[in-house]
Amino acid sequence: MTGVETRPGGAATGTAYRSRPCAALPALCLTQITGWGIVYYAFPVLNPQITVDTGWPATATTAAFSAALLVSAITGIRVGRILDHRGPRTVMTTGSVIGTASSVVVATAPNLPAFVAGWLLAGLAMASILYHPAFAALTRWWAPTTYAPSRSSPSPAAWPQPSSPR
């Protein structure tokens, strides 16, 4: 991201002025389609063939994928904090590298424990490349001015309200 001007102590995803990189949105869309396709949607499509080729029980391979979802949920909290401090570029780039490594481990797993390890690694990648970091990137680039309520809004409900004493 270019043109970042943050206030001291402000979060990297805060409300500071940022330029809107034109090529970033199509790239973000492409990475979302690719990321979801590789680390999420490929599993249900490939699992029947994986179980036939390896002889592993479908329950075990599905449990490995489910464990990846749990890892994604658990690590998502820490990833969110890193997003606040470093911004989405670092998180998503690192997550893409981890996602690539996890795909290689899953695809070449010689046994079920290696397959499970690959999916656990994929869980970390999921937390780093899927919707949450992408939405952080979008809000970093566009939300501060696009969605700011103003008096020009036709609906008074969208106008900023003065704070009232309690």
Name the residue type at position 39.
Answer: V
Residue-level pLDDT, tens digit, the chain, 166 residues:
444 444 455 555 544 555 556 777 787 788 888 888 888 899 999 999 999 999 999 999 999 999 999 999 999 999 988 888 888 888 888 999 999 999 999 999 999 999 999 999 999 999 998 888 888 877 777 665 544 444 444 444 544 455 545 4
For the chain, what are the domain ranges? 24-142
Tokens 């103003």: give the residue: 150
Q: Whole-prediction pTM value?
A: 0.71
Contact 25, 90 (CB under 8 A): no
For residues 3 and 24, is the Cβ–Cβ distance under 8 A? Answer: no
